[in-house]
Copies of this chain bind each other. A is one copy, B any other.
Amino acid sequence: MSTVAPNPNPESDPRVKAVFDDIRATRKTDFINNMWRYLAFDPALLEQTWAEVKRVMATPSTLDPLTKEMVYITASVINGCSYCVHSHTAAATAKGMTREQHAELMSIIALAAKTNQLATALQVPVDPVFDQG
């Protein structure tokens, strides 16, 4: 079930084809996952979203690729995006996340959820020393 109808032949649109071609070239795979097939309902939205994903996630940077994926999993879990939890757990696994690392990531997310809620429930004042402003 979805809220937009994916085009059965999305690459008939040259803007969509160009993005899909770049995804395949960047990721070195023929597989185009559903996120891109559904975003293709609006070529401009598809182009902008892929450009940002490519820049942030697929360009060498100060953080290693696996760390980036673990941050992405964390965000996806807390934002409650089932699709993204699946896709980024698969991506992290493909980039070498071990079972031990996966379990440890779960432990940190679980602990943060706990202390985040406790600090909010107690309305703990921020220590002045933490201020960088």
Contact = CB atoms under 8 A, between A and B. Distances in A.
A124 interface: yes
Q: Please classify the interface of chain A as helix (H, G, I), strand (E, B), loop, or mixed, using the class held by over half of its residues.
A: helix
Q: How many copies does the complex hold?
A: 6
A12 interface: no
Contact count band on A: 35 or more
Contacts of A112: 71-72, 75-76, 79, 84
Contact of A118 (B73, B89, B106): B106
By Cβ-Cβ distance, the 4 closest A-B pairs, closest first, are A75-B112, A42-B103, A2-B133, A113-B113
16 contacts: A2-B133, A3-B122, A6-B133, A49-B110, A49-B118, A71-B105, A71-B112, A72-B112, A74-B78, A76-B116, A77-B121, A79-B80, A79-B120, A83-B119, A85-B120, A114-B114
Interface of A: 1-6, 31, 33-35, 38-39, 41-42, 44-45, 48-49, 52-53, 56-57, 61-63, 67-68, 70-87, 89-90, 98-133
